[in-house]
Structure 1
Amino acid sequence: MADQHLSVPSPRDGTRPPWYARTATTVGRPAVLTATLIMSMPGEYKVAKLAGWSDPWAYGMPFALSAYAGIAAVVTATRPKGARGRISAQLGAAFAIVLALAAQVVAHLVQTGHMNGNQAWLIAITSMVPPAVLAHLLHLAATPTPVVTPSASVETPAVERVVAPVQPVTVAVPPPPAEPPAIEQPAPIQYRDPRCTAIRPLYDNGTRPGTAAMRDALIAAGHGRVGDSTIRGVLRAEVEEHEPHLAALPSAVGRTA
């Protein structure tokens, strides 16, 4: 009996995968992308808050890192090997991944009390992220994309053609738009007692927080139970010392002054 060879269908021989595999790939990729972006946003938002950004500006950090990583990855995938700007895009994509990973690690370490978020080096590095991302994106935008002309693999006989002369067309190119001026960020406040960073966000509601609210914030930040006299006389006093206008805010309703 002659040997019979069974051929196994593969994507290379033109056989399409089953419908459930195509559906899982089509639906799964955007679902995983959405889930990872949502899970990454709290950590990147937390790091921005630690660096001194207030709402709503702190929400720009997750979008800046996500958009930066996506643009750099697309530029890397669409430019051929050896093209100008490809290496820069690869470095930018790797840098964006490192930034996103570092933001998650730092946020979780601070949240669980293993790391003090009020450190000068951490605040300085986080503050440099937006201008660094902007500068690199402008560099990628200014780098021209090469046009690849496919080479003919089969020689064709030369055909003599008569080509009518083409009149040159002059196209007016508008000047590039001026870059917007950089927004100078205020210098972050350096508190003598790092526990003040857990109290300062309570003023963002437009009211002067009471003792109970400040105590809850300190416990949630991992500082344990702090005495009422320390909360009012030391921590809240130092916050209002740096920003005297906060002391004039109305007291929060239903909270101990």
Structure 2
Amino acid sequence: MAEHQPTHTPPPAGPWYARLATTAGRPAVLAATLIMSMPGEYHVAKFAGWSDPWAYGMPFSLSAYAGIAAVVAATRPKGARGRVSATIGAGFAIVLALAAQVVAHLVQTGHMDHNQAWLIAVTSMVPPAVLAHLLHLAATPVAKPTPAVAPSTSGDAPVVERVVAEEPPAPVPPMPQEPPALEQPQHEERPALEEQRPERPAIRYSDPRCAILRPLYDSGYRPTTGEMRAALEAAGVTAPSASTLRGVLRAEIEKHEPELATLLPRPTPLHRAG
């Protein structure tokens, strides 16, 4: 039975310079901010007593820590183990980076004395604290779907039809002389079963592109970035970035139907072969 999908007109693509500023501007800003932050974090490490080349590890540890914690906080579904810890860690990394810049500039401009016990102590705790939290994130992987939810992923119409179609042979003993009559109820029950299947209620999405991506879940698998991009392009809509596909469009669909977030991704040919 065909499902009713709300029809929406996809938003028009922006001008080329706006798309260029979005795609090329973000990595450029990221590189510029990392480069500008490195001297302050390096000087704070020097104030705490690290010598070269070990002091250069402070900018890389803070930047990598902030990036990893932010990615984990953004990609793990709501309620998953480690998501709250990653969010707190991302905020803590931002506070450390901001504090390093402020302290370094205050010392360099003569407004603060770097030879203070509390400053040296706090700075010395940064690397082991970062390492401990990253190991904690690595030890808390994303939780797998519970067995109670698993049947919903395989409850497709073909499976239900096969199981019900095999049950009618129970009336065979009363009338064994008429085997052809047993096949007739089997063919008649299939349309009745299909008519009893409830239709999925129409959902009004804030982004019309979600209506194009929602049918991808009907296969019983959570759509990947490549599948969502291919579906939008097949519909004549320009596909956004991978982060928008996963963090905005897919997140809105799963917000309306939380059970979709528990579906497993489609296995690749390599996984099926293994």
Alignment pair present for 1:45 and 2:42:
yes
CA distance in 1, matches of 2:156, 2:134: 42
From 15, 20, 40, the counterpart of 1:23: 20
CA distance in 2, matches of 1:147, 1:20: 42
From 92, 101, 105, the counterpart of 1:104: 101
Q: Deviation at 1:54?
A: 0.3
Which structure's relative contact order is higher, taking Cα pairs within 8 Å and 6+ residues apart? 2
| Letter paired with 1:130 | P
Alignment pair present for 1:91 and 2:93:
no
CA distance in 1, matches of 2:30, 2:17: 20
CA distance in 1, matches of 2:131, 2:103: 23
Match of 1:35 in 2: 32
The 1:12/1:132 distance shift into structure 2, 3 A limit, reads farther
CA distance in 1, matches of 2:144, 2:34: 33
Q: Deviation at 1:160?
A: 2.0
Q: Deviation at 1:41?
A: 0.3
Give 1:200-219 correspondences, 5 Å limit: none
Alignment pair present for 1:126 and 2:143:
no
From 145, 160, 163, the counterpart of 2:162: 160
CA RMSD of superposed structures (Å): 2.2
| Letter paired with 2:161 | V
CA distance in 1, matches of 2:67, 2:141: 19
CA distance in 1, matches of 2:105, 2:47: 12
Alignment pair present for 1:117 and 2:119:
no
Q: Deviations over 1:173-196 (max 9, x none)?
A: xxxxxxxxxxxxxxxxxxxxxxxx
Query: Is the Cα–Cα contact under 8 Å of residues 79 and 146 in structure 1 kept in the other structure?
Result: no
Give structure 1 stretches of 5+ with no counterpart: 1-10, 162-257
Report the number of matched residues.
150
The 1:53/1:17 distance shift into structure 2, 3 A limit, reads same
The 1:155/1:14 distance shift into structure 2, 3 A limit, reads farther
SS in structure 1 opposite 2:41? helix
Give 1:185-224 correspondences, 5 Å limit: none
From 74, 77, 80, the counterpart of 2:74: 77
Q: Deviation at 1:155?
A: 7.2
| Letter paired with 1:89 | A
Of Structure 1 and Structure 2, the greater helix share is in 2
Match of 1:181 in 2: none
Q: Deviations over 1:18-56 (max 9, x none)?
A: 222111101000000000000000000000000000000
TM superposition score normalised by structure 1: 0.55
| Letter paired with 1:35 | A
TM superposition score normalised by structure 2: 0.51
